[in-house]
Amino acid sequence: MIRAMEIPDVMSVIEIDKSVLNSNWTEVLYRTELLDLNTWAYVYELNSEVIGFIIAKFMGDTSDLLQIAVNVDYLHKGIGYEMLRYVWCKLREQGVESILLEVFSGNKRAIEFYDKFGFETVNIRKNYYGNGKDALLMKLKEDINDNMCD
């Protein structure tokens, strides 16, 4: 079940983040994003356990996908796709026309996931992650099938 992320979910989200993304997001940052009215944050819950999460920033007709992750025990089961589709449909209802994201150029699994969903690379951000690690700037294709929201 996908539902809005709440403050009590933050520790579970951090555990998933550390095991999957290893980002530099802190508890304070997660909590701050939850208080931002332009942030849409959801968790995927199974048997009362948070096993995935997605966070997007809503800005006019564009949204930035900030994070998406699924517990390693539940990868390749369509959960990430389901969360992304859910958020995309919610954003479409608000008039959002596109989603942007950055992904490490060496993260082939994530790039394949985004390609499959309908994203395309529009730019490269050199040294975005430091130490010569580039990010691909990806954008949801203009002709993405709106039928996925029916």
Active site residues: 102, 114
62: left (phi over 0), alpha (psi -120 to 50) or beta: beta
Closest CA to 41 of 78, 66, 77: 66
Contacts of 68 (CB under 8 A, 6+ apart): 52, 53, 54, 55, 80, 83, 84
Closest of 38, 36, 41, 63 to residue 52, by C-alpha: 41
CB 105 within 8 A of CB 133: yes
Give the residue ranges of DSSP H helices in 3-147.
10-16, 27-35, 79-93, 108-117
Distances (CA, A) of 144 to 1, 40, 67: 24, 21, 20
